[in-house]
Chain A
Amino acid sequence: MTGVRRHAEHVMGTVFSFAVHGGGRELEDLLARIVVRLHRIDEVFSPYREDSDISRFGRGEIALDACDPEVAEVLARCREVAVQTDGFFTMRPGGVLDPSGWVKGWAVEEASRALREAGYERHCVSGGGDVQTAGGPWRVGVADPLRPGEVIAVVTGNDVAVATSGTAERGAHIVDPYRGRPAEGLASLTLVGERLAHVDAWTTAAFAMGPDRGLAWAAAQPGIEALAVLPTGATRWTPGFPARTDAARAVG
């Protein structure tokens, strides 16, 4: 049995964590290339960098066709997600162009794709707590937002994407675009699906909707399940969520 190579990379204002079954020089070279690509994505898309393509385009200083070719594609995906989520996902939170809500999950998916294409079919990649797994089964702990260091559920399975939005790490930072103020009513919201770019962006949007609408919206999406933790510590979930956890598997 081969070992698991773990790597943590500080990028995009957070840390990307890799766990890959395999090892050797080829994997090291691949991880190095993936890390370079993540930093490149940050250079192009970071709204916190004055000279990023996104910042310059957002200020109207350069045209779209002068940007990295991936900018147009990312903005198109953001527009799609905005429609899918009834406008609760926005690429202009606070009025400034900031597609981060899509870019981080997409970057994780790109890293996972690169690993898979190189033959590393059993791995997981986390972008600051938003997780794409391949192969498996992997056990993905869902952080308890009210008890640091503990998990409140364990999602298991092969090829799953798990994203969580919450206030535990960076406060009430997700804005309800319709009210123009931070979304309330949830300590955290976790979505489980297959592909992280969409799952991550949808989680942010459903969090902004609040617990009632967010859970109902998630329950209506094919292949998506959700777990909500309320500020009181009470939990709510979509009907199919328990089947995605180890609680269901134990009963078999």
Chain B
Amino acid sequence: MRRAVVVGSATAAGVILLLSLKPHQGATSAAAPISSGGSGGADGSGGTSGTSSAPPAQASDTSGTRAITGDSVDTRYGPVQVKVTLAGKKITRIDVVKYPTESGRDRSINSYALPVLNQEAVAAQSAAIDVVSGATYTSDGYTRSLQSALDKAGS
């Protein structure tokens, strides 16, 4: 079975920022060279419980690295199950071990949406950034921006 590999870096709360999926088993390797993922906010809560409530399913090795396989979670796209690898409290790898593979009508859809596992971790991670790239704000819009907060915090 083909596995889609997802990598992430976040606090221990966990987050998937980037997903790299090939949606269909048996699809030709000539798929568009653009990877796809999702950040559907409405699905975020549904995806969270699978990892956070999961019991450890795989043993630790001697270096303090451990892997936890979560419960399979039903999303509106089908069942999703992930395995999270931690080094200490830091997530170093997320493997999607089960993901929707329904073929046919969605064959042409390559913006495949999986739940973001933990939106809060995205916000938490922003605390560790130095600068923000985003659509150009006006002088007024700047005052509400994350960049403004960073500039204030550092001056």
Task: Give the B-binding residues of A (Cβ under 8 A).
Answer: 4, 6-8, 10, 13-15, 17, 19, 104, 124, 126-131, 133, 138-155, 162-170, 188, 190, 215-216, 219, 229-230, 232-239, 241-242, 245-251
Contact = CB atoms under 8 A, between A and B. Distances in A.
Interface residues of B, number: 52
B155 A7 contact: yes
Q: Name the prevailing secondary structure of the A interface residues.
A: strand
A247 B151 contact: no
Contacts of B122: 144, 150-152
A140 B135 contact: no
B132 A126 contact: yes
B136 A139 contact: no
B91 interface: yes
A245 B33 contact: no
Contacts of B125: 151, 154
B85 to A, nearest CB: 9
A126 B135 CA distance: 12
A140 B92 CA distance: 19
A127, A229, A237, most chain B CB atoms within 10 A? A237
A215 B132 CA distance: 21
Contacts of A166: 134-135
Contacts of B142: 8, 10, 14-15, 128
A229 B39 CA distance: 9
Contacts of B36: 234-237
A14 B134 contact: no
Interface string B27-68: 000000111111111000000000000000000000000000
A126 to B, nearest CB: 5
Contacts of B19: 235
B133 A141 contact: yes
B45 to A, nearest CB: 14
Interface string B94-114: 000000000000000011110
Given A8-B148, A242-B7, A237 B138 contact: no
Nearest to B147: A17
A140 B150 CA distance: 12
Nearest to A132: B131
Given A141-B129, A152-B17, A165-B135, A250 B41 contact: no
